[in-house]
Every structure is written in C-alpha cells, then in structure tokens.
C-alpha cells in the first residue's frame, strides 16, 4: 500500500463506510433541495379546465411540460 499525504496531516481519514454514508447523506440533501426548487402541482379538476389553463402558459413552459409528459409516457 502506498503512503499518501493529506493537506492536514493531523486530521483523521474517513473510513470507506463513513465516506459511503456521507455521500448518501449529501445525495439526499441535494435531492430534497431539488424537490424544493421544483414546482409541484396536484390538480383535481375537470380535464377541460386543465386544457384551458394550458392556454395561459408561455412557449418555454409548454416545452417543459411536453418534455415532462414525454418522459413519464416513456417510463
């Protein structure tokens, strides 16, 4: 095994398990932050109202909606 140096020689190195757990905690926080930043809409309305609401969306919003719908249909 090769000897390695660290930026802070007195610092303890994390074990592989600690690194794994830390990575999962970071991933969970990033996922939660992503969900907070993403708009969430739950609609329990007649389809005709939803279709009418589409008329209020800008082109970039419609493209994003189309992308999301296509991804869900592909799954």
pLDDT tens digits, one per residue of 58-73: 999 999 999 999 988 9
| C-alpha–C-alpha distance, residues 60 and 50, integer Å | 18
Task: Assess if residue 6 is contained within a domain.
Answer: no
Task: Assess if residue 37 is contained within a domain.
Answer: yes
The pLDDT assigned to 60 comes to 93
| Domain tally, the chain | 1
Task: Assess if residue 39 is contained within a domain.
Answer: yes
Structure tokens at 17: 């398990």
The pLDDT assigned to 57 comes to 93
The pLDDT assigned to 72 comes to 87
Q: Are 14 and 22 in contact (CB under 8 A)?
A: yes
Max mean pLDDT among 1-5, 30-34, 50-54, 55-59 falls in 55-59
| C-alpha–C-alpha distance, residues 69 and 17, integer Å | 39
Task: Assess if residue 42 is contained within a domain.
Answer: yes
């Amino acid at each position: 095994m090769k000897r390695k140096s660290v930026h802070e020689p007195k610092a303890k190195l994390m074990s592989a398990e600690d690194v794994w757990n830390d990575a999962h905690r970071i991933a969970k926080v990033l996922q939660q932050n992503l969900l907070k930043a993403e708009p969430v809409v739950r609609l329990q309305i007649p389809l005709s109202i939803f279709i009418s609401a589409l008329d209020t969306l800008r082109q970039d919003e419609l493209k994003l909606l189309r992308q999301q719908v296509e991804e869900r249909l592909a799954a």
